[in-house]
């Protein structure tokens, strides 16, 4: 029963994103037969070190969604204090609901059933613009962010260049989105 309800909710969110695309990302299913595995393309936010990059990630939803959060993993290389070296995203709203046993996060900052795919991805885009180096998933990136910002910027630039924007001959965000499972994706052009 819970799985049926979560599948219906995820289908509704997917349809809403198709109908009303949100600027900054595209989202769709990895496989049309599995509503619990999503693929997203995040466009590096303007006026950040990630601007001009195109970063692919996967969202894996549990059958207990929305009572439990999904996991998010970047598939393309990204250098960020809150994304570990294997691509796993560490952000408060993706942490299990309830009190943090270490006392670092308030329960209200952690997963709540009101979160949607849209709110998750907007939070991740915000995280790209404003890293939390006090609670890093990638200690090396956090240390560089604080102590050697020039080197941090160089590594981000390399990742940005290597992630679609620099390797390809795409001319615009729209063209990239159309070449990224277009039948499954939503996209609102910023150009």
Helices (H), 20-138: 117-129
Both structure tokens of 59: 């969202």
Name the residue with tokens 């990638």.
Answer: 138
Nearest C-alpha neighbor of 188 from the set 100, 121, 140, 130: 121
Give the whole-angstrom CA distance, residue 76 versus residue 60.
16
Nearest C-alpha neighbor of 60 from the set 89, 84, 103: 89
Beta bridge partners of 55: 42
Examine the residue annotation and report whether 90 is marked as an active-site residue of this protein: yes
Q: Residues in the chain, how many?
A: 191
CA distances from 83 to 106, 167, 171 (A): 21, 22, 28
Beta bridge partners of 29: 38
Both structure tokens of 52: 């001009």
Residue of 41, 90, 120, 127 marked active site = 90
Residues with catalytic annotation? 90
């Amino acid at each position: 029963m819970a799985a049926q309800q979560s599948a219906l909710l995820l289908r509704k969110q997917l349809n809403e994103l198709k109908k009303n695309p949100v600027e900054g990302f595209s989202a769709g299913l990895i496989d049309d037969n599995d509503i619990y595995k999503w693929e997203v393309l995040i466009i590096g936010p303007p006026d950040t070190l990630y601007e001009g990059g195109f970063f692919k990630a996967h969202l894996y939803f549990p059958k207990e969604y929305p009572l439990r959060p999904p996991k998010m993993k970047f598939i393309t290389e990204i250098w960020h204090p809150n994304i570990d070296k294997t691509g796993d995203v560490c952000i408060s709203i993706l942490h299990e609901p309830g009190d943090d046993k270490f006392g670092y996060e308030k329960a209200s900052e952690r997963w709540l059933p009101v979160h949607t795919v849209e709110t998750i991805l907007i939070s991740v885009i915000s995280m790209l613009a404003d890293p939390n180096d006090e609670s890093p998933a990638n200690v090396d990136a956090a240390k560089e962010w604080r102590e050697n910002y020039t080197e941090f910027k160089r590594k981000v630039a390399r990742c940005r260049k290597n992630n679609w924007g620099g390797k390809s001959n795409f001319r615009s965000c729209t063209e990239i989105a159309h070449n990224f499972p277009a039948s499954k994706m939503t996209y609102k052009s910023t150009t």
